[in-house]
Amino acid sequence: MSDGPRIVVAGAGAIGCFIGGLLAGAGHSVTLLARPRIQAEIRTHGLTLTDFGGMARNLSSDELTLASDETCLRDADIVLVTVKSGDTENMARQIARHTPQGVQVISLQNGMGNRAILAQHLPQHDLRAGLVPFNVVAMGQGCYHRASSGDLVIEGGPADLAARLSLPQLRMIEHADITALQWGKFLMNLNNALNALSGLPLQAQLRDRAWRQLMADQWAEALSVLRAEKIRPAMTTPIPARLVPALLRLPTPLFTRIASAMLQIDPQARTSMAQDLAARRPTEIDALQGEVQRRAQALGRATPVTDMVLRVMGWAELAGEGLPHLPVTALRTEMAAGQDQQKG
């Protein structure tokens, strides 16, 4: 048994199983608070972790603890929150109910509202916002595959938490202005919906100039809303947020040379929203495009790209038929129709 911190991954899906599994494989005491389906897969097949660079790790179910009962939080020194944004408040209540003051809680979630929700319920905890820059795909039978690169980033604080949890295969760093980086990741995540609607692997979508141009329009629209609120997103890459739309609009040969780091992903990787839509699960569209739309409405600004994406994703979720494989021209047409309707 490890004499280090006891870690509970609260809401262990693809990201949680991958991160928790690597921590367990390095000797940490890890409990995965997961759905019965995920537990059954791991108990039957073990936990297999792979990545696009060739890493392959397999852990037996004996090397970590699986739990479906929130009372496992009572033993936690560190809680890694990896639930979807819509489940954050419920998880915050569970953490507040079962953990003492001072327990370290790290939010490794998409969207910008999760830290505030956690803080409402956990005012005496050591709460850190964080971001996960890479994509993890659930392959089935307890296998989780990291399809892109990047280091975990968490909000700075006491106890050098990042150093305690960093691994060769899972580097974690602390950053003083985590909010600016989160906004940068937020802008990147706006493509999750477009990727889901396209049905394309992410790399193929990024190599298609028409899709990149729509991505650029969406990015520029959201960035203008953030600028109006005096929000300045920061990127973990050398390219400033304000230049990303111009980069995306470049001809493909030039784009692939300049943005080679963006293309260092598995050829078949898709975004988490594409995975959710394919599996007929609710998506996090409200925490992404919904956030842009609400802020724009408060400012009295029009957001035709964002509005269109919200409409079409709503239809796709309601249809429950998986990935719609829409051409980019269909989304452009729907956006124009929405604008005409507003004018009428």
In the chain, what are the domains?
6-175 (3.40.50.720), 182-343 (1.10.1040.10)
Residue 211 has pLDDT above 60, yes or no: yes
Averaged pLDDT for residues 14-37: 96
pLDDT for the residue 2: 61
pLDDT confidence band for 152 (50 / 70 / 90): very high
Strand-by-strand arrangement of the 152-155 sheet: 65-67, 29-33, 6-10, 78-81, 104-107, 126-131, 152-155, 172-175
pLDDT confidence band for 212 (50 / 70 / 90): very high
Query: Could you say which DSSP state residue 88 is in?
Result: H
Strands 143-146 and 136-140: antiparallel
pLDDT for the residue 1: 47
Query: Measuring CA to CA, which residue among 337, 321, 319 is closest to residue 329?
Result: 337
Burial of 110 (0-12, 13-18, 19+ CB in 10 A): buried
Residue 263 has pLDDT above 80, yes or no: no
Averaged pLDDT for residues 258-281: 88
Query: Measuring CA to CA, which residue among 101, 103, 95 is closest to residue 77?
Result: 103
Averaged pLDDT for residues 177-191: 95
Averaged pLDDT for residues 89-108: 96
Please report the sign of the dihedral spanned by the C-alpha atoms of residue 292, residue 295, residue 297, residue 301: negative
Give the whole-angstrom CA distance, residue 277 versus residue 65.
Answer: 29
Averaged pLDDT for residues 9-27: 96
pLDDT for the residue 256: 92
Averaged pLDDT for residues 89-95: 97
Averaged pLDDT for residues 55-73: 93
Those residues with Cβ within 8 angstroms of residue 46's Cβ, 6 or more apart along the chain or in another chain: 58, 59, 60, 61, 142
Helical ranges in the chain per DSSP H: 14-25, 36-45, 88-98, 114-121, 161-165, 178-189, 191-198, 202-206, 209-228, 244-249, 252-258, 272-278, 289-299, 304-319, 328-343
Q: Whole-number mean pLDDT of the chain?
A: 94
**Picking from 69-83, 152-166, 186-200, which range would have the lowest pLDDT averaged per residue?**
152-166
Q: Does the reported pTM lie above 0.85?
A: yes
Counting other chains too, the contacts that 225-229 makes at CB distance below 8 Å and 24 or more residues apart are: 225/292, 225/295, 225/296, 225/299, 225/301, 225/303, 226/183, 226/295, 228/299, 228/301, 229/295, 229/299
Beta bridge partners of 47: 59
Residue 344 has pLDDT above 80, yes or no: no
Residue 132 has pLDDT above 70, yes or no: yes
Averaged pLDDT for residues 219-236: 96
Higher pLDDT, 49 or 64: 49
Q: Which two tokens stand for residue 62?
A: 């004996």
Averaged pLDDT for residues 199-207: 95
